[in-house]
Chains A and B, each alone.
Chain A
Amino acid sequence: MFYREAGDFKKTYSADNQTFPIKIDRVGYYLALVVAFLVIPFVINDYWANAILLPFLIYSIAAIGLNILVGYCGQVSLGTGGFMAVGAYACYKLMTSFPDVNIFFHVLLSGGITGFVCVIFGLPSLRIKGFYLAVATLAAQFFLVWLFNRVPWFYNNSASGQINAPERMVFGVPVTGPNTEAWATYLFCLVFLVLSALIARNLTRGMAGRKWMAIRDMDIAAEIIGVNPLKAKISAFGVSGFFVGISGALFFALYLGAVEVGEAFGITKSFLVLFMIIIGGLGSIFGSFAGAAFLVLLPVVLKVVGVDMLGWPTDIVAHLQLVIVGGLIIMFLILEPHGLAQLWRVAKQKLRLWPFPH
């Protein structure tokens, strides 16, 4: 009744091509932005920020990045954890080497550096395809983690081998270090998430995105119709690395504060982000959000239900979580290979006809 494009006339080309062509979508989008920017910062507390909102925002950025590579360009990568580590260590080196520059630029730059590293590890994708590539990206994962563990230059020769985020201000408000406020870190991450989502969304519906999708669907056919596979694949690796690097930098500097690379950016992180985009939906920006939200919330919900309400030991709940996540992945792949994003699309389609389906 309410959700439809009928009567919503477009008068210009750009209006016809906007991201959300249906009015109610547009209103919802602006409403979400208003709530995210103007309401949540006032009601947020430390528990919500650290347990749910910050991981959600940061993982969403990582999921968007990986979704560009896996969902849009079809190049399966298991090296996300390693690339996040690159972002984190780049951010650390920049923060300690250039303390006067605003951290905003440090995060952006570390994204760029990660994109560059990602491109280097993506170069073999021109020769290696499918599973072989997935396994080859594991080389990045293990090599990078080893590198950050073994070369003292990366952690400024600190005795513990950890990296710690020094205190940095944005507009006089500390966003990293021990004295941060929940709303400040939240807003800082949110800005990056919104920027990432905007860039990703517009890249994927433009020429670059169409090239990626052509490569994903069938790379030889794409090559024949004139898509340069070198440029398409490398650009996907670069853009994906950029977002993943930003999320790694934020994960280190704002969320954890101190990082031991093998623990924070191990192979499990790669799988976690991969699961997010499978459950959320491959090839969908909304899916990246949905998947990240789902997998961030699931352990929290399980802990509240299992440990706090039923009083089970934590290790059982942790094992149960593995079972549930694994089972859900299989279930999604069987029932809805396009993930939560497809459910959302179906719901919208139903809503268009509601309440008169005939």
Chain B
Amino acid sequence: MSEQLVFAMEVFANGLMSGVLYALVALGFVLIYKASGIFNFAQGVMALFAAMTLVGIQNGQVPFAHLINAIFGTHVHSFGWNISSAFALILTVGVMILLAWAVQRFVFRHLVGQEPIILFMATIGLAYFLEGFADLMWNSEIKTLTFCLPGELCLPQGMNLAIDDAAYNAWGVGFFIDNLDITATLVAIVLVIALVAFSQYTKQGRAMRAVADDHQAALSVGISLNFIWVLVWSLAGFVALVAGIMWGAKSGVQFSLSLIALKALPVLMLGGFTSIPGAIVGGLIIGVGEKMFEYCFGIGQCFGGVINLGGATENWFAYVLALVFLVFRPQGLFGEKIIERV
């Protein structure tokens, strides 16, 4: 096999992997949108907040240490203990549930019945609030995330040597895939199966789907909307936590983590806001599409380099693809058909 073809395949595979990570974030959007009609712009910041909380708890940071020091002139920074990842994970899930409750109680309960666009803007406000809050709580420096479950099961780093060796033996050319990406893919698959199982086979999951179908009908058969919304936000918080761990382990826990939400938006547009399979397929299309486009036209590797746009096309390709796609199919790939009545 020619070196270039293998390289293209490598780009393709890496695109698939990053597509899975996009899909992971998009999943959180879809969950909330289906159940409450809220387009949650804060999903990315929730991922950031979750990852920061996890790291903060692990390292025994004192919350709001900076603020406390500034007000009282003290010098507290750390409790001086280290908590195991598994326990910190449970605590973080607890924090995310608390957050879900607070968001529901103090923001969206007061906005029931408002126009969707108002709700959307409220989530932008929420995103800003959470971002500042997270920075105040755990300070804004870049943190490294090491995540180890009991039994030395750490998140792997570096490239996968087995695949590299196999490719080298077969084609005489190395094949680069990040171990972390493989793990993320597996985790995402497990997560999706778990979510589907939850919504199909448990009582709460069925209630969730009922709410998604029709609020009033769900209310009239005795489902508590408040509970379901808190549940959905908690689930989204959990998905955000998983996404935060994966992205955080990949590139450090820092502000740019919250920008993955922006990348998840075109994924949603492609897949349709209301479809979980759509989020996954959309994520894969975007992930592969932007990597291949960058490879072919961004740095000019295809067709003898006729088109060379000078790189960094990943910034906009996803949006433009989604835009062009939507002009032909306004509800996305799997979205519900939009019916308008006067």
B342 in contact with A221 (CB, 8 Å)? yes
Q: Which of A57-65, A164-172, A207-215, A322-330 contacts B (4 or more CB under 8 A)?
A: A322-330
A-B contact pairs, 12 of them (CB 8 A): A128-B323, A128-B330, A131-B120, A135-B265, A136-B322, A139-B266, A146-B313, A312-B71, A313-B66, A325-B132, A330-B122, A334-B122
Asked if B87 is an interface residue, CB under 8 A from chain A, the answer is no
Interface residue from B140, B266, B342 paired with A218 (Cβ < 8 Å): B342
Interface residue from A135, A218, A327 paired with B129 (Cβ < 8 Å): A327
B323 in contact with A136 (CB, 8 Å)? yes
Asked if A10 is an interface residue, CB under 8 A from chain B, the answer is no
Interface residue from A127, A130, A311, A326 paired with B132 (Cβ < 8 Å): A326
B326 in contact with A337 (CB, 8 Å)? no
Query: Contacts A135-B268, A271-B124; is A128 near B136 (CB within 8 Å)?
Result: no
A320 in contact with B132 (CB, 8 Å)? yes
A334 in contact with B111 (CB, 8 Å)? yes
In the complex, A150→B262 CA distance in Å?
21
Interface residue from A132, A134, A278, A329 paired with B330 (Cβ < 8 Å): A132
Asked if B269 is an interface residue, CB under 8 A from chain A, the answer is yes
In the complex, A334→B112 CA distance in Å?
10
In the complex, chain B residues 76-117 whose Cβ is within 8 Å of any chain A Cβ: 107, 110-111, 114, 116-117
Interface residue from B122, B129, B315 paired with A333 (Cβ < 8 Å): B122
In the complex, A166→B66 CA distance in Å?
43
Closest A residue to B39 by beta carbon equals A131
A319 in contact with B132 (CB, 8 Å)? yes
Inter-chain pairs besides A127-B330, A141-B319, A323-B129, 9 sampled, C-beta below 8 Å: A74-B117, A127-B326, A128-B323, A135-B319, A139-B316, A218-B342, A316-B136, A325-B129, A326-B125
Interface-central residue, B107, B127, B323, by most chain A CB under 10 Å: B323
Chain A contacts for B39, CB-based, 8 A: 131
Query: Contacts A135-B266, A330-B122; is A128 near B327 (CB within 8 Å)?
Result: yes
Interface-central residue, B117, B121, B127, B269, by most chain A CB under 10 Å: B121
Asked if A315 is an interface residue, CB under 8 A from chain B, the answer is yes
Chain B contacts for A316, CB-based, 8 A: 66-67, 70, 136
A267 in contact with B262 (CB, 8 Å)? yes
B70 in contact with A136 (CB, 8 Å)? no
A303 CB, min distance to chain B CBs, angstroms: 14
Asked if B181 is an interface residue, CB under 8 A from chain A, the answer is no
Query: Contacts A135-B322, A320-B136; is A146 near B330 (CB within 8 Å)?
Result: no
B136 in contact with A319 (CB, 8 Å)? yes
In the complex, chain A residues 121-172 whose Cβ is within 8 Å of any chain B Cβ: 124, 127-132, 134-136, 138-139, 141-143, 145-146, 149-150
Query: Contacts A132-B330, A333-B125; is A326 near B269 (CB within 8 Å)?
Result: no
Interface flags, B309-336, vs A, CB<8A=1, else 0: 1111101100110110011001010000
In the complex, A328→B268 CA distance in Å?
28
B32 CB, min distance to chain A CBs, angstroms: 13
Asked if A76 is an interface residue, CB under 8 A from chain B, the answer is yes
B332 CB, min distance to chain A CBs, angstroms: 8
B133 in contact with A136 (CB, 8 Å)? no
B116 in contact with A130 (CB, 8 Å)? yes
Interface residue from A128, A278, A324 paired with B121 (Cβ < 8 Å): A278
Chain A contacts for B111, CB-based, 8 A: 333-334
Closest A residue to B320 by beta carbon equals A139
Chain A contacts for B332, CB-based, 8 A: 132
B135 in contact with A326 (CB, 8 Å)? no
Asked if B227 is an interface residue, CB under 8 A from chain A, the answer is no
Chain B contacts for A149, CB-based, 8 A: 312
Chain A contacts for B312, CB-based, 8 A: 146, 149-150
Chain B contacts for A74, CB-based, 8 A: 117
B319 in contact with A329 (CB, 8 Å)? no
Asked if B273 is an interface residue, CB under 8 A from chain A, the answer is yes
Interface residue from A135, A311, A321, A329 paired with B269 (Cβ < 8 Å): A135
B213 CB, min distance to chain A CBs, angstroms: 20
Asked if A6 is an interface residue, CB under 8 A from chain B, the answer is no
Asked if B118 is an interface residue, CB under 8 A from chain A, the answer is yes
B124 in contact with A337 (CB, 8 Å)? no
In the complex, A134→B41 CA distance in Å?
11
Chain B contacts for A218, CB-based, 8 A: 342
Query: Contacts A128-B327, A136-B269; is A329 near B135 (CB within 8 Å)?
Result: no
Chain B contacts for A224, CB-based, 8 A: 342
B320 in contact with A329 (CB, 8 Å)? no
Asked if A191 is an interface residue, CB under 8 A from chain B, the answer is no
Chain B contacts for A340, CB-based, 8 A: none
Asked if B340 is an interface residue, CB under 8 A from chain A, the answer is yes
B49 CB, min distance to chain A CBs, angstroms: 12
Interface flags, A209-240, vs B, CB<8A=1, else 0: 00000000010110010000000000000000
Query: Contacts A131-B120, A333-B118; is A143 near B342 (CB within 8 Å)?
Result: no
Query: Contacts A136-B319, A142-B319, A146-B315; is A220 near B342 (CB within 8 Å)?
Result: yes
Chain A contacts for B71, CB-based, 8 A: 312
A339 CB, min distance to chain B CBs, angstroms: 11
B121 CB, min distance to chain A CBs, angstroms: 6
Query: Contacts A138-B319, A271-B124; is A322 near B129 (CB within 8 Å)?
Result: yes
A54 CB, min distance to chain B CBs, angstroms: 24
B271 CB, min distance to chain A CBs, angstroms: 12
Interface flags, B254-283, vs A, CB<8A=1, else 0: 000000001001101100010000000000
Chain A contacts for B140, CB-based, 8 A: 315, 319
B340 in contact with A220 (CB, 8 Å)? yes
Query: Contacts A326-B132, A327-B129; is A138 near B265 (CB within 8 Å)?
Result: yes
Asked if A274 is an interface residue, CB under 8 A from chain B, the answer is yes
Query: Contacts A319-B136, A320-B136; is A150 near B310 (CB within 8 Å)?
Result: yes
